[in-house]
Structure 1
Protein backbone atom coordinates (compact mmCIF):
# COMPACT_ATOMS: atom_id res chain seq x y z
CA UNK A 1 0.00 0.00 0.00
CA UNK A 2 1.10 3.56 -0.69
CA UNK A 3 0.43 6.07 2.04
CA UNK A 4 -1.26 9.27 0.89
CA UNK A 5 -1.53 11.16 4.18
CA UNK A 6 -5.08 10.67 5.45
CA UNK A 7 -5.98 7.95 2.96
CA UNK A 8 -4.23 4.78 1.78
CA UNK A 9 -4.68 3.31 -1.70
CA UNK A 10 -4.20 -0.32 -2.67
CA UNK A 11 -4.75 -2.35 -5.85
CA UNK A 12 -5.36 -5.90 -4.54
CA UNK A 13 -6.26 -7.39 -7.94
CA UNK A 14 -6.85 -6.34 -11.52
CA UNK A 15 -9.65 -3.80 -11.88
CA UNK A 16 -10.11 -3.20 -8.14
CA UNK A 17 -8.95 -0.22 -6.10
CA UNK A 18 -9.19 0.04 -2.31
CA UNK A 19 -9.36 3.43 -0.60
CA UNK A 20 -8.79 3.24 3.16
CA UNK A 21 -9.42 6.19 5.46
CA UNK A 22 -6.26 6.43 7.53
CA UNK A 23 -6.99 8.09 10.87
CA UNK A 24 -7.42 5.02 13.10
CA UNK A 25 -6.33 6.96 16.18
CA UNK A 26 -9.40 9.21 15.63
CA UNK A 27 -11.62 6.30 14.54
CA UNK A 28 -11.26 7.61 10.98
CA UNK A 29 -13.14 10.81 11.76
CA UNK A 30 -13.83 12.81 8.62
CA UNK A 31 -12.00 16.14 8.47
CA UNK A 32 -11.60 18.56 5.59
CA UNK A 33 -8.17 17.24 4.60
CA UNK A 34 -9.46 13.68 4.33
CA UNK A 35 -12.54 14.73 2.38
CA UNK A 36 -10.42 16.65 -0.10
CA UNK A 37 -8.20 13.63 -0.70
CA UNK A 38 -11.18 11.30 -1.03
CA UNK A 39 -12.87 13.66 -3.48
CA UNK A 40 -9.78 13.94 -5.67
CA UNK A 41 -9.09 10.20 -5.55
CA UNK A 42 -12.62 9.32 -6.69
CA UNK A 43 -12.34 11.81 -9.54
CA UNK A 44 -8.95 10.40 -10.54
CA UNK A 45 -10.25 6.83 -10.51
CA UNK A 46 -13.15 7.80 -12.78
CA UNK A 47 -10.54 8.71 -15.40
CA UNK A 48 -8.54 5.51 -14.88
CA UNK A 49 -9.63 2.76 -17.28
CA UNK A 50 -7.89 0.17 -15.09
CA UNK A 51 -10.26 0.84 -12.17
CA UNK A 52 -13.59 -0.96 -12.60
CA UNK A 53 -14.69 -1.29 -8.96
CA UNK A 54 -13.82 0.72 -5.86
CA UNK A 55 -13.79 -0.39 -2.22
CA UNK A 56 -14.00 2.22 0.54
CA UNK A 57 -12.93 1.16 4.03
CA UNK A 58 -11.28 2.38 7.20
CA UNK A 59 -7.95 1.52 8.81
CA UNK A 60 -7.97 -0.19 12.18
CA UNK A 61 -10.25 -2.72 13.81
CA UNK A 62 -12.89 -0.49 15.38
CA UNK A 63 -14.31 2.03 12.93
CA UNK A 64 -15.17 2.51 9.29
CA UNK A 65 -15.67 6.11 10.39
CA UNK A 66 -17.00 7.57 13.63
CA UNK A 67 -18.32 10.58 11.72
CA UNK A 68 -17.32 14.17 11.19
CA UNK A 69 -14.36 15.41 13.21
CA UNK A 70 -16.11 17.29 16.02
CA UNK A 71 -12.83 18.88 17.15
CA UNK A 72 -12.51 20.51 13.73
CA UNK A 73 -16.21 21.43 13.56
CA UNK A 74 -15.95 23.17 16.95
CA UNK A 75 -13.50 25.70 15.43
CA UNK A 76 -15.92 26.85 12.70
CA UNK A 77 -17.91 30.06 13.03
CA UNK A 78 -21.54 30.08 11.72
CA UNK A 79 -20.55 31.10 8.19
CA UNK A 80 -17.85 28.43 8.04
CA UNK A 81 -20.36 25.90 9.33
CA UNK A 82 -22.82 26.68 6.54
CA UNK A 83 -20.06 26.45 3.94
CA UNK A 84 -18.98 23.15 5.47
CA UNK A 85 -22.51 21.71 5.14
CA UNK A 86 -22.50 22.54 1.44
CA UNK A 87 -18.95 21.31 0.86
CA UNK A 88 -19.51 18.00 2.65
CA UNK A 89 -22.68 17.33 0.67
CA UNK A 90 -20.84 17.94 -2.59
CA UNK A 91 -18.10 15.52 -1.54
CA UNK A 92 -20.70 12.89 -0.64
CA UNK A 93 -22.28 13.41 -4.05
CA UNK A 94 -18.91 12.69 -5.68
CA UNK A 95 -19.07 9.21 -4.15
CA UNK A 96 -22.76 8.68 -4.90
CA UNK A 97 -22.47 9.78 -8.53
CA UNK A 98 -19.18 8.02 -9.27
CA UNK A 99 -19.68 6.07 -12.50
CA UNK A 100 -17.70 3.18 -11.03
CA UNK A 101 -19.47 0.92 -8.49
CA UNK A 102 -18.41 1.62 -4.91
CA UNK A 103 -18.48 -1.00 -2.14
CA UNK A 104 -18.17 -0.04 1.52
CA UNK A 105 -16.14 -2.58 3.49
CA UNK A 106 -17.34 -1.82 7.00
CA UNK A 107 -14.57 -2.89 9.34
CA UNK A 108 -16.34 -1.31 12.32
CA UNK A 109 -18.77 1.37 13.39
CA UNK A 110 -20.27 3.82 10.91
CA UNK A 111 -21.70 6.77 12.82
CA UNK A 112 -22.84 10.24 11.74
CA UNK A 113 -20.97 11.26 8.62
CA UNK A 114 -19.43 7.79 8.49
CA UNK A 115 -22.90 6.25 8.25
CA UNK A 116 -23.85 8.81 5.61
CA UNK A 117 -20.80 7.86 3.56
CA UNK A 118 -21.44 4.12 3.89
CA UNK A 119 -25.09 4.54 2.88
CA UNK A 120 -24.00 6.62 -0.12
CA UNK A 121 -22.01 3.66 -1.51
CA UNK A 122 -23.63 1.15 -3.88
CA UNK A 123 -23.14 -1.93 -1.69
CA UNK A 124 -21.99 -2.72 1.83
CA UNK A 125 -20.14 -5.65 3.39
CA UNK A 126 -19.92 -5.85 7.18
CA UNK A 127 -19.49 -7.96 10.29
CA UNK A 128 -21.03 -7.96 13.75
CA UNK A 129 -18.82 -4.93 14.45
CA UNK A 130 -20.54 -2.94 11.69
CA UNK A 131 -23.03 -0.87 13.61
CA UNK A 132 -24.78 2.20 12.19
CA UNK A 133 -26.04 5.43 13.69
CA UNK A 134 -27.29 8.46 11.72
CA UNK A 135 -27.23 11.26 14.28
CA UNK A 136 -28.19 14.38 12.32
CA UNK A 137 -31.64 14.75 13.94
CA UNK A 138 -29.99 14.60 17.37
CA UNK A 139 -28.13 17.80 16.46
CA UNK A 140 -31.02 19.63 14.77
CA UNK A 141 -29.90 18.52 11.33
CA UNK A 142 -31.01 16.30 8.46
CA UNK A 143 -29.15 13.57 6.61
CA UNK A 144 -29.58 10.45 4.46
CA UNK A 145 -33.13 11.40 3.42
CA UNK A 146 -32.19 10.91 -0.26
CA UNK A 147 -30.38 7.60 0.19
CA UNK A 148 -31.58 5.48 3.11
CA UNK A 149 -35.31 5.27 2.18
CA UNK A 150 -34.38 3.84 -1.22
CA UNK A 151 -32.49 1.01 0.49
CA UNK A 152 -34.59 0.11 3.54
CA UNK A 153 -37.97 1.72 2.78
CA UNK A 154 -39.47 4.93 4.12
CA UNK A 155 -40.87 3.56 7.39
CA UNK A 156 -37.62 2.00 8.60
CA UNK A 157 -35.61 4.96 7.32
CA UNK A 158 -37.79 7.43 9.22
CA UNK A 159 -37.42 5.43 12.41
CA UNK A 160 -33.64 5.24 12.18
CA UNK A 161 -33.23 8.87 11.12
CA UNK A 162 -35.72 10.39 13.57
CA UNK A 163 -34.40 8.51 16.60
CA UNK A 164 -30.69 8.44 15.73
CA UNK A 165 -30.54 5.09 17.50
CA UNK A 166 -27.91 2.41 17.11
CA UNK A 167 -28.63 -0.11 14.35
CA UNK A 168 -26.95 -3.50 14.71
CA UNK A 169 -25.33 -5.37 11.84
CA UNK A 170 -28.02 -8.05 12.04
CA UNK A 171 -30.78 -5.45 11.73
CA UNK A 172 -28.95 -3.75 8.87
CA UNK A 173 -28.72 -7.09 7.05
CA UNK A 174 -32.40 -7.83 7.69
CA UNK A 175 -33.47 -4.57 6.05
CA UNK A 176 -31.01 -4.69 3.14
CA UNK A 177 -28.53 -2.06 4.31
CA UNK A 178 -25.84 -4.76 4.41
CA UNK A 179 -25.43 -6.97 1.36
CA UNK A 180 -23.23 -9.44 3.24
CA UNK A 181 -22.53 -10.15 6.90
CA UNK A 182 -19.26 -12.04 7.44
CA UNK A 183 -16.65 -12.58 10.13
CA UNK A 184 -14.67 -9.44 11.04
CA UNK A 185 -11.45 -10.72 9.50
CA UNK A 186 -13.27 -11.52 6.23
CA UNK A 187 -14.90 -8.13 5.53
CA UNK A 188 -12.25 -6.79 3.18
CA UNK A 189 -11.73 -10.17 1.51
CA UNK A 190 -15.46 -10.47 0.79
CA UNK A 191 -15.55 -6.92 -0.56
CA UNK A 192 -12.59 -7.70 -2.83
CA UNK A 193 -14.31 -10.88 -4.03
CA UNK A 194 -17.48 -8.93 -4.84
CA UNK A 195 -15.52 -6.10 -6.48
CA UNK A 196 -13.60 -8.64 -8.53
CA UNK A 197 -16.80 -10.17 -9.89
CA UNK A 198 -17.89 -6.68 -10.97
CA UNK A 199 -14.47 -5.78 -12.40
CA UNK A 200 -14.43 -8.91 -14.56
CA UNK A 201 -17.49 -7.70 -16.47
CA UNK A 202 -17.23 -5.21 -19.37
CA UNK A 203 -17.16 -1.69 -17.89
CA UNK A 204 -19.73 -0.28 -20.30
CA UNK A 205 -22.44 -2.61 -19.07
CA UNK A 206 -21.47 -2.24 -15.42
CA UNK A 207 -21.46 1.53 -15.52
CA UNK A 208 -24.67 1.57 -17.55
CA UNK A 209 -26.46 -0.58 -14.96
CA UNK A 210 -25.37 1.70 -12.12
CA UNK A 211 -26.40 4.83 -14.01
CA UNK A 212 -29.80 3.48 -15.03
CA UNK A 213 -30.69 2.03 -11.64
CA UNK A 214 -29.90 5.38 -10.01
CA UNK A 215 -31.49 7.56 -12.70
CA UNK A 216 -34.64 5.46 -13.05
CA UNK A 217 -35.66 5.94 -9.41
CA UNK A 218 -38.91 7.90 -9.49
CA UNK A 219 -39.47 7.52 -13.20
CA UNK A 220 -42.59 5.89 -14.62
CA UNK A 221 -41.85 2.27 -15.47
CA UNK A 222 -42.37 2.87 -19.18
CA UNK A 223 -39.94 5.81 -19.10
CA UNK A 224 -37.38 3.70 -17.24
CA UNK A 225 -37.74 0.96 -19.85
CA UNK A 226 -37.28 3.46 -22.68
CA UNK A 227 -34.21 4.92 -20.97
CA UNK A 228 -32.70 1.43 -20.75
CA UNK A 229 -33.38 0.72 -24.42
CA UNK A 230 -31.96 4.11 -25.46
CA UNK A 231 -28.81 3.48 -23.43
CA UNK A 232 -28.38 0.03 -24.96
CA UNK A 233 -28.73 1.38 -28.50
CA UNK A 234 -27.10 4.82 -28.24
CA UNK A 235 -24.41 4.53 -25.56
CA UNK A 236 -22.97 1.03 -25.48
CA UNK A 237 -20.66 0.29 -28.42
CA UNK A 238 -21.91 -2.55 -30.63
CA UNK A 239 -19.91 -5.77 -30.57
CA UNK A 240 -19.95 -8.61 -33.10
CA UNK A 241 -22.62 -10.93 -31.74
CA UNK A 242 -20.62 -14.06 -32.53
CA UNK A 243 -17.57 -12.81 -30.63
CA UNK A 244 -19.70 -11.71 -27.69
CA UNK A 245 -21.41 -15.04 -27.17
CA UNK A 246 -18.30 -17.08 -27.94
CA UNK A 247 -16.57 -15.24 -25.11
CA UNK A 248 -19.54 -16.03 -22.85
CA UNK A 249 -19.39 -19.71 -23.80
CA UNK A 250 -15.65 -19.86 -23.19
CA UNK A 251 -16.17 -18.50 -19.67
CA UNK A 252 -18.97 -20.99 -19.02
CA UNK A 253 -16.70 -23.89 -20.02
CA UNK A 254 -13.76 -22.74 -17.85
Structure 2
Protein backbone atom coordinates (compact mmCIF):
# COMPACT_ATOMS: atom_id res chain seq x y z
CA UNK A 1 0.00 0.00 0.00
CA UNK A 2 1.34 3.41 -0.90
CA UNK A 3 -0.20 6.80 -0.32
CA UNK A 4 1.60 10.10 -0.83
CA UNK A 5 0.48 13.51 0.37
CA UNK A 6 1.96 16.94 0.84
CA UNK A 7 1.94 17.14 4.61
CA UNK A 8 3.44 20.51 5.47
CA UNK A 9 0.64 22.90 4.55
CA UNK A 10 -2.68 22.79 2.74
CA UNK A 11 -2.69 21.55 -0.85
CA UNK A 12 -3.04 23.99 -3.69
CA UNK A 13 -0.76 26.82 -2.63
CA UNK A 14 0.84 28.57 -5.56
CA UNK A 15 4.29 28.70 -3.96
CA UNK A 16 4.55 24.92 -3.90
CA UNK A 17 4.96 24.78 -0.12
CA UNK A 18 2.50 21.88 0.06
CA UNK A 19 5.27 19.67 -1.30
CA UNK A 20 7.95 20.74 1.19
CA UNK A 21 7.17 17.82 3.47
CA UNK A 22 5.89 14.58 1.95
CA UNK A 23 4.27 11.66 3.72
CA UNK A 24 3.92 8.22 2.21
CA UNK A 25 2.63 4.96 3.65
CA UNK A 26 4.67 1.96 2.54
CA UNK A 27 3.53 -1.27 4.10
CA UNK A 28 3.62 -0.76 7.86
CA UNK A 29 5.76 2.40 7.80
CA UNK A 30 4.91 6.07 7.47
CA UNK A 31 7.72 7.74 5.54
CA UNK A 32 8.25 11.48 6.01
CA UNK A 33 10.51 13.20 3.49
CA UNK A 34 11.87 16.71 4.05
CA UNK A 35 11.58 17.94 0.49
CA UNK A 36 13.44 21.20 -0.12
CA UNK A 37 16.59 19.86 -1.79
CA UNK A 38 17.36 23.26 -3.32
CA UNK A 39 17.67 24.59 0.27
CA UNK A 40 19.26 21.41 1.68
CA UNK A 41 15.88 20.67 3.23
CA UNK A 42 16.03 23.63 5.61
CA UNK A 43 12.88 23.62 7.71
CA UNK A 44 10.09 26.15 7.38
CA UNK A 45 7.61 26.60 10.17
CA UNK A 46 5.01 24.82 8.02
CA UNK A 47 7.35 21.84 7.71
CA UNK A 48 7.77 21.67 11.47
CA UNK A 49 3.98 21.61 11.81
CA UNK A 50 3.81 18.89 9.16
CA UNK A 51 6.26 16.82 11.20
CA UNK A 52 4.09 17.21 14.30
CA UNK A 53 1.05 16.13 12.27
CA UNK A 54 2.91 13.04 11.06
CA UNK A 55 3.73 12.10 14.66
CA UNK A 56 0.06 12.24 15.57
CA UNK A 57 -0.87 10.26 12.46
CA UNK A 58 1.48 7.36 13.09
CA UNK A 59 0.33 7.02 16.69
CA UNK A 60 -3.35 7.11 15.71
CA UNK A 61 -3.12 4.39 13.03
CA UNK A 62 -2.83 0.84 14.45
CA UNK A 63 -1.68 -0.44 11.06
CA UNK A 64 1.43 1.75 11.15
CA UNK A 65 4.37 0.30 13.08
CA UNK A 66 7.23 2.66 12.20
CA UNK A 67 7.89 6.34 11.46
CA UNK A 68 10.73 6.90 8.99
CA UNK A 69 12.40 10.30 8.47
CA UNK A 70 14.53 11.17 5.46
CA UNK A 71 15.75 14.17 3.48
CA UNK A 72 15.37 14.52 -0.29
CA UNK A 73 18.16 15.11 -2.79
CA UNK A 74 21.11 13.28 -1.23
CA UNK A 75 22.90 16.44 -0.05
CA UNK A 76 21.28 16.82 3.35
CA UNK A 77 18.95 15.25 5.88
CA UNK A 78 17.95 18.68 7.18
CA UNK A 79 20.22 21.73 7.15
CA UNK A 80 18.58 23.44 10.12
CA UNK A 81 15.78 25.98 10.15
CA UNK A 82 15.39 28.30 7.14
CA UNK A 83 17.38 31.39 8.18
CA UNK A 84 15.04 33.75 6.34
CA UNK A 85 12.43 33.05 9.00
CA UNK A 86 14.61 34.71 11.65
CA UNK A 87 14.53 38.15 10.05
CA UNK A 88 13.38 40.80 12.51
CA UNK A 89 13.48 38.44 15.49
CA UNK A 90 13.36 39.92 18.98
CA UNK A 91 14.33 38.25 22.24
CA UNK A 92 10.68 37.41 22.84
CA UNK A 93 10.47 35.89 19.36
CA UNK A 94 13.47 33.72 20.18
CA UNK A 95 11.86 32.46 23.37
CA UNK A 96 8.66 31.61 21.48
CA UNK A 97 10.63 29.93 18.67
CA UNK A 98 12.60 27.69 21.04
CA UNK A 99 9.38 26.86 22.89
CA UNK A 100 7.74 25.81 19.63
CA UNK A 101 10.74 23.68 18.62
CA UNK A 102 10.71 22.06 22.08
CA UNK A 103 7.04 21.15 21.63
CA UNK A 104 7.55 19.65 18.17
CA UNK A 105 10.70 17.74 19.07
CA UNK A 106 8.96 16.63 22.25
CA UNK A 107 6.10 15.25 20.17
CA UNK A 108 8.60 13.42 17.94
CA UNK A 109 10.44 11.97 20.92
CA UNK A 110 7.12 10.87 22.44
CA UNK A 111 5.90 8.92 19.39
CA UNK A 112 4.83 5.55 20.77
CA UNK A 113 6.23 3.59 17.83
CA UNK A 114 9.84 3.28 16.70
CA UNK A 115 11.25 6.26 14.79
CA UNK A 116 14.04 5.67 12.26
CA UNK A 117 16.15 8.48 10.80
CA UNK A 118 17.81 7.70 7.45
CA UNK A 119 20.57 10.28 7.04
CA UNK A 120 22.37 11.11 3.81
CA UNK A 121 24.57 14.21 3.66
CA UNK A 122 24.52 17.08 6.14
CA UNK A 123 22.51 16.85 9.35
CA UNK A 124 22.81 20.34 10.79
CA UNK A 125 21.32 22.43 13.59
CA UNK A 126 17.59 21.77 13.77
CA UNK A 127 18.15 18.71 11.62
CA UNK A 128 20.41 17.24 14.28
CA UNK A 129 17.73 18.04 16.85
CA UNK A 130 15.22 16.07 14.78
CA UNK A 131 17.62 13.16 14.29
CA UNK A 132 18.40 13.07 18.02
CA UNK A 133 14.73 12.28 18.69
CA UNK A 134 14.85 9.13 16.54
CA UNK A 135 15.26 5.73 18.17
CA UNK A 136 17.45 4.29 15.41
CA UNK A 137 19.70 6.28 13.08
CA UNK A 138 21.46 4.93 10.00
CA UNK A 139 23.56 6.99 7.64
CA UNK A 140 25.69 7.03 4.53
CA UNK A 141 29.46 7.46 4.69
CA UNK A 142 29.08 11.06 3.51
CA UNK A 143 26.77 12.01 6.37
CA UNK A 144 28.00 14.66 8.78
CA UNK A 145 26.62 16.18 11.97
CA UNK A 146 27.03 19.68 13.39
CA UNK A 147 25.44 22.64 15.12
CA UNK A 148 27.71 25.47 13.88
CA UNK A 149 25.75 28.31 15.49
CA UNK A 150 28.89 29.71 17.15
CA UNK A 151 30.18 30.72 13.71
CA UNK A 152 26.96 31.22 11.73
CA UNK A 153 23.97 32.88 13.41
CA UNK A 154 25.21 33.35 16.96
CA UNK A 155 21.93 32.01 18.34
CA UNK A 156 21.53 29.35 21.03
CA UNK A 157 19.74 26.13 21.95
CA UNK A 158 17.06 25.47 24.51
CA UNK A 159 17.99 23.33 27.49
CA UNK A 160 15.72 20.57 26.19
CA UNK A 161 17.49 20.46 22.82
CA UNK A 162 20.87 20.57 24.54
CA UNK A 163 19.81 17.71 26.81
CA UNK A 164 18.89 15.58 23.80
CA UNK A 165 22.27 16.20 22.15
CA UNK A 166 24.10 15.33 25.36
CA UNK A 167 22.17 12.07 25.64
CA UNK A 168 22.92 11.27 22.01
CA UNK A 169 26.62 12.21 21.85
CA UNK A 170 27.78 12.59 25.45
CA UNK A 171 28.62 15.89 27.12
CA UNK A 172 32.31 16.26 26.11
CA UNK A 173 31.62 15.65 22.42
CA UNK A 174 28.51 17.85 22.44
CA UNK A 175 30.45 20.66 24.11
CA UNK A 176 33.24 20.55 21.54
CA UNK A 177 30.73 20.40 18.67
CA UNK A 178 28.97 23.52 19.93
CA UNK A 179 31.84 25.64 21.21
CA UNK A 180 34.13 24.90 18.27
CA UNK A 181 31.37 24.63 15.64
CA UNK A 182 32.93 21.23 14.99
CA UNK A 183 31.59 18.77 12.44
CA UNK A 184 31.35 15.08 13.31
CA UNK A 185 31.67 12.63 10.42
CA UNK A 186 29.75 9.39 10.03
CA UNK A 187 32.45 7.17 11.52
CA UNK A 188 32.80 9.30 14.65
CA UNK A 189 29.02 9.35 15.01
CA UNK A 190 29.00 5.56 14.72
CA UNK A 191 31.73 5.14 17.33
CA UNK A 192 29.91 7.52 19.68
CA UNK A 193 26.80 5.35 19.52
CA UNK A 194 24.71 8.04 17.82
CA UNK A 195 24.43 5.93 14.66
CA UNK A 196 23.38 2.30 14.58
CA UNK A 197 24.90 1.69 11.16
CA UNK A 198 26.91 3.41 8.43
CA UNK A 199 25.81 1.84 5.17
CA UNK A 200 27.37 1.69 1.74
CA UNK A 201 23.93 1.17 0.19
CA UNK A 202 21.69 3.38 2.31
CA UNK A 203 18.46 2.44 0.54
CA UNK A 204 19.03 -1.27 1.05
CA UNK A 205 20.03 -0.78 4.67
CA UNK A 206 17.00 1.40 5.34
CA UNK A 207 14.58 -1.19 3.96
CA UNK A 208 16.25 -3.94 5.98
CA UNK A 209 16.13 -1.98 9.23
CA UNK A 210 12.55 -0.80 8.66
CA UNK A 211 11.37 -4.36 8.01
CA UNK A 212 13.19 -5.67 11.07
CA UNK A 213 11.68 -3.00 13.32
CA UNK A 214 8.19 -3.28 11.80
CA UNK A 215 8.20 -7.02 12.48
CA UNK A 216 8.83 -6.61 16.19
CA UNK A 217 6.33 -6.87 19.04
CA UNK A 218 4.59 -3.46 19.18
CA UNK A 219 3.91 -3.49 22.91
CA UNK A 220 7.48 -4.50 23.70
CA UNK A 221 8.74 -1.62 21.58
CA UNK A 222 6.29 0.81 23.16
CA UNK A 223 7.23 -0.32 26.67
CA UNK A 224 10.95 0.21 26.08
CA UNK A 225 10.34 3.69 24.65
CA UNK A 226 7.95 4.63 27.46
CA UNK A 227 10.22 3.45 30.26
CA UNK A 228 13.22 5.21 28.72
CA UNK A 229 11.14 8.39 28.52
CA UNK A 230 10.18 8.07 32.18
CA UNK A 231 13.74 7.28 33.20
CA UNK A 232 15.09 10.33 31.38
CA UNK A 233 12.38 12.57 32.79
CA UNK A 234 12.68 11.40 36.38
CA UNK A 235 16.40 10.76 36.62
CA UNK A 236 15.77 8.37 39.52
CA UNK A 237 13.43 5.60 40.59
CA UNK A 238 10.52 5.08 38.20
CA UNK A 239 7.16 3.38 38.73
CA UNK A 240 6.74 1.13 35.71
CA UNK A 241 4.01 -1.15 37.08
CA UNK A 242 1.38 0.06 34.61
CA UNK A 243 3.72 -0.53 31.66
CA UNK A 244 4.73 -3.99 32.85
CA UNK A 245 1.12 -4.92 33.55
CA UNK A 246 0.00 -3.78 30.10
CA UNK A 247 2.61 -5.92 28.35
CA UNK A 248 2.31 -9.07 30.46
CA UNK A 249 -1.48 -8.84 30.42
CA UNK A 250 -1.69 -8.47 26.65
CA UNK A 251 -3.09 -10.88 24.09
CA UNK A 252 0.22 -10.60 22.25
CA UNK A 253 2.18 -11.97 25.20
CA UNK A 254 -0.28 -14.79 25.92
CA UNK A 255 -0.40 -15.76 22.24
CA UNK A 256 3.38 -15.69 21.89
CA UNK A 257 3.85 -17.93 24.94
CA UNK A 258 1.34 -20.43 23.56
CA UNK A 259 2.91 -20.32 20.09
CA UNK A 260 6.37 -20.90 21.54
CA UNK A 261 5.26 -23.89 23.63
CA UNK A 262 3.22 -25.49 20.86
CA UNK A 263 5.58 -24.53 18.06
CA UNK A 264 2.69 -22.74 16.41
CA UNK A 265 2.55 -19.43 14.57
CA UNK A 266 1.73 -16.02 16.02
CA UNK A 267 1.07 -12.56 14.68
CA UNK A 268 1.62 -9.35 16.66
CA UNK A 269 -1.48 -7.22 16.97
CA UNK A 270 -0.41 -4.64 19.56
CA UNK A 271 -3.17 -5.73 21.94
| TM-score, normalisation: structure 1 | 0.86
Report the CA distance shift for 1:251/1:182 in structure 2 as closer, same or farther (over 3 A): farther
Tell me if 1:147 matches 2:164: yes
Tell me if 1:95 matches 2:108: yes
- The aligned counterpart of 2:194 is 177
Within 5 A, what are the aligned runs for 1:179-218? 179-183=196-200, 186-217=201-232
Count matched residues: 245
Contact 1:136-1:142 within 8 A present in 2 as well: no
- The aligned counterpart of 2:9 is none
Is 158-167 or 136-145 further displaced after alignment?
A: 136-145
Report the CA distance shift for 1:11/1:145 in structure 2 as closer, same or farther (over 3 A): same
Tell me if 1:168 matches 2:185: yes
What is the distance in 2 between the residues matched to 1:251 and 1:156? 46
Shift of 1:137: 4.4
- The aligned counterpart of 2:24 is 10
| TM-score, normalisation: structure 2 | 0.81
- The aligned counterpart of 1:157 is 174
What is the distance in 2 between the residues matched to 1:106 and 1:215? 27
Residue 201 of structure 1 aligns to a residue whose secondary structure is: coil
Shift of 1:240: 8.2
The two structures, once aligned, show a CA RMSD in angstroms of 2.4
2:53 is aligned, of 29, 33, 40, to 40
